[in-house]
Amino acid sequence: MESYISEDIHLHCELSRSSGKVRWFKDGQVVEESHKLQLISEGPYRRLSILKGTANDGGEYVCETDGDSVFFQLTVKDPPVRIISPSESELELTHLASERLELSCEISKGEAPIQWFRDGLEVKEGPNLKLEVNGTQRRLIIPIATVDDTGEYVCDTKDDSVAFLVTVTEPPVKLSRPQNMPEKLEGYAGEPIILETTMSRPNSEVKWRLNGRELVESSKVTMIVDGLIHRLTIHSPTPEDSGKYTCDVIDDKIDFQIKVSEPPVKILRRSGIKTELKFLVSDDIVLECELSRANVGAKWYKDNCPVEGDERYCEEEEGAFRSLVILNAGLEDSGKYFLDVGDDNICYDVLVEEPPVKIVGNSNELEYQEMMAGDDLILACEVSRVNAPVQWYCNERLLTVDSRTCIESYGTLRKIIVSNMQSSDSGKYMCDAVDDKMICLVRIQEPPVTFLNKEDDIVVTGYEAESVTLTSYVSKENAIVRWLKDWTPIEGDRFQARMEGHKRTFTIEPLKRSDAGEYTCDINTDQIHFSLLVKEMRIKFVRPLQDMVAHANGMVTLRCDLCKPKADVQWLRNGVEVVPSRRYSIRADGAERSLTIHRLTREDAGEYSCESKDDRTVARLRVELPRVVEFLTELHNTTVLEGEDATFKCVVSPDDVQLVWLMDNEPISLGDRFQTTQNGLCHTLVIKKCQMLDCSKITAEAEGQISKATLKVQEAQVMFMKKAEAVMAEEFGEATLEAEISIETGEVQWMRQGVVIQAGPRHTLAQNGCKRSLTIHNLTISDRGTYRCETLHDRTQVKLNVEPRKICIRKALTDQETFERETASFEVELSHTDVEGIWQKNGIRVKPNNQWRVSSNGLVHSLTLSNLTLEDTGTIAFSAEGVRTSARLTVKETPVSILKTLSDVRVEEDFPATLECEFSRQIIEVRWFKNGKELKAGKNCRIYSMGRKRFCQIMQCSRADSGTYTCDTGELNTSCLLEVYGKSTLPQF
């Protein structure tokens, strides 16, 4: 017997009886049992087992009993090299050209050599053929297979082999549409149409068809091949060229839906058409344009109204040209003319104007005039129309009628007169008649500036310490002059030069003796001279006498001040010198001079003057009898109640006396409460709405005479004016209790159950005039009862009823339906704010989290559920203080949609085909149908899914597999056409 290395070897023999004994020998030597050799006895059977045999285990083995023996000739050799995978001895493989071809075998012994053969010839490794060894794996790889690589490939060991029948075919030709090439195209007649497709490989025959009819190249149709790009050009299409264009190869085709329309009517050379036109009265107006087609209707409009033909309006058509002619145009023909041709339009702005105004005899040359300042300018011209308006300009400034300018118009004559021309009036004068202009340049010459008051010699006398002013007048207001003393410019703070119109003044203040001399006023073109004489300082009064009034038998002093202490004066009364005596005292005290008259009589009244040699001052003295002020009627003490008015009256003589009112020796400030009046000798003080604080002494003072009285204010009783009404309020709200008292200043206190209520967070005390109020906030049931409002003299009570608040639902919950992963919001609007509510789902209170959000805003309570699932379907309820509302939340599965439909497949016989579509959800049950009959997975039909995609794979297509395949979810489906063609239909190249 034979065995292989590493295999277990078993030698068997059978005895005639079970109890028989045997001995085993190898090559004459007794075999002893060991870990490698096992001697086994099972009934009448005896076995020698050699574990993992080696070549040394070969030899002659004998099983010997008493009287009998069995011989085994054992040979142990290396095992054969076997091909483990593939298990078939022959495989048929089909590959597409340009794909990677890989043939793989797994052998039983990693270090065993093998050979690859193709069509009986051993293959060698090269650029396009690689042989790889990886452990027990042996591979033949052709990186880019071609049709020439078709043949029988054999992987051969010395003991085993496997054959691969490889067929390499060209891949089916596929067509693709450029990204910028839509399936449907629209164009206009005459515009070229270019269709392009890209082939998956070159050298394939392409046919272009229109509505199934094959197209051939002509002057109108051009077919161009540029590598993989096939291009069809229709140079000048017409509407008859519309239809379905098909680019067809053996394995694929692409359709283009082309629509060729007549081009819209256009107005040609629009940029060259003038749309803003001007015409003169009696001209013929011609509006004309050219259309892109001749057989098109056109309609003319003027100011949105259709133009009706008459003897003046004429519409003309000549081929593609359209025109409107208006004869003998008038001003009324101005307006917007509109031509409508359906797809296009054009608008003309037509302006009909009067003929241009002309200036008669205008040579268009500049005229020049020169004149002296002060002359009058007269410009005149004649225009071509009586009603022609003109405007006059001076240096581009519009001239209007004013005190110097007179503009006149007589028939066709236009005239302007500018009086008293000045040098600033020089410039360009223009008569603008809109369409014509006349220009005259006028230059005004200024006369030399001269002094108007010039005399041979002007002598001016001034006095020391006083001021003196030298005055001159120039012929021109803006003339600049210089003042000189002894022909030297004058500077200093005492000198001031002024300009005022034509007047020029020079003032020196104060004068000094050194200021005497010759002064000159110079204006370049003329001079004027002054001789200034400065005399000794004059004695003048710096403080004059003041008029005085004195009483008979009294004394009065008249005072005045001189400019210096040492100077003589003379006092006069009514022009007669006053001589000092016992009644008249004349005194000198420094610069002050005074006259005092004692024991005045009425004869002392009159005009008094004090005279120096250079000045005098005068005052009048009036002597009156002494003034007697007395109270004819004194003030009387007055007592009033709080809140009443108090009146004080007195009669004082004379009526022009100055009376002052005082309260506790303080002057009274008059206003709304303190008012005074006078009627002749009667003086009145009224104090409005007396208060307790007004108790005081009232004094009337009249030029030293005084009258006093006492004001007493008695406290008034504060009474309630009307009975308070009961108040109804709601729990948690607020209630205001009101009472009205007789005096605004009265004080009240609010009480409940004998306890005074103080202002605090829950109680607000307020007053407004005579009204007093108590407001209770955040009412509770315990706040109901009787409240009392008291003064010192009266009381009233108010009953407060507090009812439990009645919560009601203004806006209840409504049922909602939504889809998975969406958000649902529920809102409840209550009748009250600050109400605590409870949300429940299926009777269980909702606890807010990331998915369930509870909120409230005033009257509105909200529950928002996000990222919903099907398990969130249920009843949502809201309850609060005895009210409840509920609604049903229904969460539905997201509707299934088809993201990728099935595509038609065309495949060669015996090749696999895969149908693929994609849905919007992963978990979805589908069924596959062929021609309406459900498909089941089998050996040749594999049905599986990957994520959202669903596949139906036919492993080896036959003609019978052709048909319509449908993938159906129960709610929607998608179908495609599988076409299996025979090998004989492959194109030959």
Q: pLDDT tens digits for 533-582?
A: 988 888 888 899 999 998 888 899 999 999 888 888 999 999 999 999 98
Which tokens sit at 101?
């071809």
B/e letters for 111-138, b = 16+ CB within 10 Å, e = fewer, are ebebebbbeeeebeeeeebeeeeeebeb
Are both 576 and 599 inside the same structural domain? yes
When pLDDT is averaged across residues 711-737 and rounded to a whole number, the result is 86
For residues 675 and 350, give the distance between their C-alpha atoms in angstroms, rounded to a whole number: 82
Q: pLDDT-derived band of residue 524, with 50, 70 and 90 as boundaries?
A: confident
Say if 450 falls within a structural domain: no
From 535, 554, 574, give the residue that closes a domain: 535
Say if 67 falls within a structural domain: yes
Residues 139 and 131: beta-carbon distance below 8 Å: yes
Indicate the burial class of 735 (C-beta count within 10 angstroms; 0-12, 13-18, 19 or more): buried
When pLDDT is averaged across residues 704-719 and rounded to a whole number, the result is 88
For residues 815 and 349, give the distance between their C-alpha atoms in angstroms, rounded to a whole number: 65
pLDDT at 881: 81
> Cβ atoms within 10 A of the Cβ of 789, count?
24
Q: pLDDT-derived band of residue 685, with 50, 70 and 90 as boundaries?
A: very high
Judge whether residue 987 has pLDDT over 70.
no
Domain count, the chain: 11
Which tokens sit at 62?
């004998």
When pLDDT is averaged across residues 891-906 and rounded to a whole number, the result is 89
For residues 875 and 891, give the distance between their C-alpha atoms in angstroms, rounded to a whole number: 11
Say if 720 falls within a structural domain: no
When pLDDT is averaged across residues 215-228 and rounded to a whole number, the result is 86
Query: What strands lie across the sheet with 130-134, from one edge to the other?
Result: 83-85, 101-107, 137-142, 130-134
Residues 943-953 pLDDT 10s:
888 888 999 99
Are both 487 and 566 inside the same structural domain? no
Residues 245-298 pLDDT 10s:
999 888 888 888 988 887 788 888 888 888 888 888 888 888 898 888 777 888
Are both 164 and 194 inside the same structural domain? no
Judge whether residue 971 has pLDDT over 90.
no
Q: Which amino acid is at 564?
A: K
Say if 90 falls within a structural domain: yes
For residues 427 and 982, give the distance between their C-alpha atoms in angstroms, rounded to a whole number: 106
Residues 45-85 pLDDT 10s:
888 888 888 888 888 888 888 878 888 888 878 778 888 88
Judge whether residue 94 has pLDDT over 70.
yes
| Closest to 715 in 3D by CA, of 643, 771, 791, 645 | 643
Judge whether residue 90 has pLDDT over 80.
no
pLDDT at 584: 92
What is the CATH number for 331? 2.60.40.10
SS3 634: coil
When pLDDT is averaged across residues 823-834 and rounded to a whole number, the result is 88
pLDDT at 804: 83
Say if 590 falls within a structural domain: yes
Indicate the burial class of 925 (C-beta count within 10 angstroms; 0-12, 13-18, 19 or more): exposed
Residues 62 and 24: beta-carbon distance below 8 Å: yes
Range of the domain at 385: 359-445
User: In the Cβ-directed half-sphere of 884, how many Cα atoms lie within 13 Å?
Assistant: 8
pLDDT at 118: 86
Are both 98 and 160 inside the same structural domain? yes
Query: Which residue bears the tokens 């490698």?
Result: 36
Are both 462 and 519 inside the same structural domain? yes
Distances (CA, A) of 609 to 542, 563, 595, 602, 651: 14, 17, 10, 18, 43
Query: Which residue bears the tokens 């608040």?
Result: 805
SS3 272: helix
Mean pLDDT score of the chain, rounded to an integer?
Answer: 87
Residues 920-965 pLDDT 10s:
888 888 999 999 999 988 888 888 888 889 999 998 899 899 999 9
From 484, 502, 535, give the residue that closes a domain: 535
For residues 281 and 351, give the distance between their C-alpha atoms in angstroms, rounded to a whole number: 10
Which tokens sit at 754?
């004998």
pLDDT at 188: 81
Q: Dihedral through CA 487, CA 493, CA 499, CA 503, nearest 10?
A: -60
Are both 108 and 162 inside the same structural domain? yes
Are both 879 and 943 inside the same structural domain? no
In order, the DSSP letters of 192-241 are: -EEEEEEESSSS---EEEETTEEP---SSEEEEEETTEEEEEESS--GGG
From 239, 261, 283, give the residue that closes a domain: 261
pLDDT at 985: 44
Which tokens sit at 152?
């029988």
Which tokens sit at 94?
């089909």
pLDDT at 1: 77
Q: pLDDT-derived band of residue 456, with 50, 70 and 90 as boundaries?
A: low
Instruction: Output phi, psi for 832, to 5 deg.
Output: -130, 155
Say if 452 falls within a structural domain: no
Are both 635 and 616 inside the same structural domain? no
pLDDT at 904: 93
Instruction: Output phi, psi for 270, to 5 deg.
Output: -60, -35
Are both 163 and 132 inside the same structural domain? yes
Q: Which amino acid is at 401?
A: V
Are both 368 and 337 inside the same structural domain? no
When pLDDT is averaged across residues 228-236 and rounded to a whole number, the result is 87
For residues 70 and 23, give the distance between their C-alpha atoms in angstroms, rounded to a whole number: 11
Q: Which amino acid is at 959?
A: R
| Closest to 47 in 3D by CA, of 37, 60, 58 | 37
Say if 858 falls within a structural domain: yes
CB within 8 Å of 156: residues ≥ 6 apart: 114, 115, 116, 117
Which tokens sit at 107?
């052998």
SS3 440: strand
Judge whether residue 607 has pLDDT over 80.
yes
Instruction: Output phi, psi for 703, to 5 deg.
Output: 50, 50
> Cβ atoms within 10 A of the Cβ of 419, count?
13
Query: What strands lie across the sheet with 570-573, from one edge to the other?
Result: 548-551, 616-624, 606-611, 570-573, 576-577
Are both 765 and 821 inside the same structural domain? no
CA angle 686, 690, 694 (to 5 degrees): 95
Q: How many residues does the chain have?
A: 989
In order, the DSSP letters of 119-140 are: TTEE---BTTBEEEEETTEEEE
Residues 541 and 609: beta-carbon distance below 8 Å: no
Are both 59 and 123 inside the same structural domain? no
Say if 564 falls within a structural domain: yes
pLDDT at 984: 54
Judge whether residue 986 has pLDDT over 70.
no
Residues 727-777 pLDDT 10s:
898 888 889 999 998 888 788 999 988 889 999 999 999 999 889 999 999
For residues 396 and 548, give the distance between their C-alpha atoms in angstroms, rounded to a whole number: 70
Where is 751: in which H helix or E strand?
Answer: strand 749-752
